[in-house]
């Protein structure tokens, strides 16, 4: 990561820290040591706060409660909400070159874009929410290689915005699984994009360096 400049990270329990999305994003963008490339922020899930877990993710039995709050549901809802809140605050209108990276095919956000679009008018945004998803959001696969997820993602965005990733220990695809998944792309060029060149371009990685 020493070769990746202008990268920030936020964690996805949006309620625990009073919606850090706007203030911390402004601080990170303003303090960037290099603005020759777009700023990139990876919003990654974390375990929800105790207050949120009490309100939404407890009451079954402890182990199931934990799964519900994390990999089974909560991680993805909370990370999606943290990312979504950046947009109605006008952050992407003020910083149109800001790029947000979300794992797990966008943490459910692309699946709800039709309803989220209604926020744009209320917030006085320049574009629809779905437009920002196409211009300011990168989706990583996180080892979820279901072709149905790929096909849906391509109704929301393009292959230029997809990044292959795994998610050990939760998702550990085999080489055969990966080859089968990549076969769903229309061309070798698209396969190269998702496999390496999209990430290299986004994070300023020289693929020829050793």
Give the active site residue among 65, 93, 167, 177: 167
Full DSSP string of 168-180: TTTB---HHHHHH
Residues 142, 69: Cα–Cα separation, whole Å = 18
Residues 205, 16: Cα–Cα separation, whole Å = 33
CA distances from 14 to 1, 24, 153, 192, 207 (A): 25, 12, 24, 34, 35
Residues 25, 47: Cα–Cα separation, whole Å = 21
Is 167 tagged catalytic? yes
Q: Could you give the residue numbers annotated as active site?
A: 167
């Amino acid at each position: 990561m020493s070769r990746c400049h202008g990268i920030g990270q936020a964690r996805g329990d949006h309620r625990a820290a009073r919606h850090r999305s706007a203030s911390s994003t402004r601080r990170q963008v303003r303090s960037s040591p290099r603005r020759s490339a777009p700023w990139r922020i990876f919003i990654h899930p974390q375990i929800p706060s105790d207050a949120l877990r009490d309100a939404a993710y407890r009451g079954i039995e402890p182990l199931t409660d934990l799964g519900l709050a994390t990999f089974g549901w909560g991680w993805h809802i909370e990370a999606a909400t943290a990312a979504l809140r950046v947009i109605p605050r006008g952050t992407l209108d003020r910083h149109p070159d800001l790029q947000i990276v979300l794992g797990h095919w966008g943490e459910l956000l692309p699946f709800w874009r039709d309803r989220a679009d209604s926020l744009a008018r209320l917030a006085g945004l320049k574009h629809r929410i779905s437009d920002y998803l196409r211009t300011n959001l990168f989706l990583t696969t996180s080892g979820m290689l279901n072709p149905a997820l790929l096909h849906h993602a391509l109704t929301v965005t393009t292959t230029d915005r997809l990044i292959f990733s795994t998610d050990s220990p939760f998702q550990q695809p085999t080489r055969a699984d990966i080859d089968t998944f990549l076969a769903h792309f229309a061309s070798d060029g698209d396969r190269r994009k998702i496999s390496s060149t999209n990430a290299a371009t986004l994070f300023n990685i020289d693929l020829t360096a050793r």
